[in-house]
A = this chain, B = another copy of it.
Amino acid sequence: MKIGELAKRSGLTAYTIRYYEQIGLLPAPDKDASGQRDYDASILTWIEFLGRLKATGMPIREMLRYAALREKGSATDAERRTLLEAHRRKVRDHVADLQANLLVLDAKISGYADAEKRIETQHDPVKRKPLRARRPRTL
């Protein structure tokens, strides 16, 4: 498969694929007679995994370390596992942090909701502003 198709199938752009190859995140594929990259479908699995590392906030430098270990073969399995476990810990911590902040956000939003309610019922309870009628303004 050529780079354009891999781009479509992987969700990366051709630019990004070449960039990843350049930095060593993707293995250099075989080239055809006219020098064009010819990818094996199996690369998609690796790209998908990289996507998960990225989605969980792993910086490229660390993915690179993982990629380098992977290229050295199964002798590095233990080290790779350690790396992933460390990453997992960070992700879990991050999730916990996000959840804590969500609670504060909930409280803040409730505060706005309460204030709104007070205003609605304060002077003119009959003529309520319908909650669904509001639209955000263009900024």
Contacts and interface: CB of A to CB of B under 8 A. Distances in A.
Interface of A: 22-24, 27-28, 49, 52, 55-56, 60-61, 64-65, 68, 70-71, 73-74, 77-85, 87-88, 91-92, 94-95, 97-99, 101-102, 104-106, 108-109, 112-113, 115-116, 125-126, 128, 130-134, 136-137, 139
Kindly list the 8 A-B residue pairs having the minimum CB-CB distance in the complex, ordered from nearest: A24-B136, A81-B112, A71-B131, A52-B101, A56-B101, A28-B134, A22-B137, A84-B109
A104 to B, nearest CB: 6
B128 A73 contact: yes
Contacts of A74: 115, 125-126, 128
Contact of A81 (B64, B80, B116): B116
A124 B5 CA distance: 37
Nearest to A28: B134
